[in-house]
Amino acid sequence: MEPPWHVILLDDSVHSFDYVIEMLNVIFGHTHEIGKRMADEVNARGRVIVATVHKELAELRQQQIEEYGPDPRVPECKVSMRATIECSE
């Protein structure tokens, strides 16, 4: 049986907290409260685990994060956030 994989959102200095919260809701179904907690953690630590799932779904979620688009609230933002996946074991 394959071990689960973490989807890890990486911090940057461009995207707003509202963008992060919204994106996590759209892609993962996270509530506003969970999204806010994760936004705080990625801001403080530079990364946050946003999901732990099987590898194929982790790869899909990583792609969805990286294709979500720029933050319309920040005029200088031109790209999506970045993410990586790591085996949980």
pLDDT tens, per residue, the chain with 89 residues? 789 999 999 999 899 999 999 999 999 999 999 999 999 999 999 999 999 999 999 999 999 999 999 999 999 999 999 999 999 98
Find the Cα–Cα–Cα–Cα dihedral 29, 21, 71, 28, rounded to 10°: -20
Residue whose entry in the numeric block shows the structure tokens 């074991």: 89
Report domain extents, the chain.
5-87
CATH code, 5-87: 3.30.1390.10
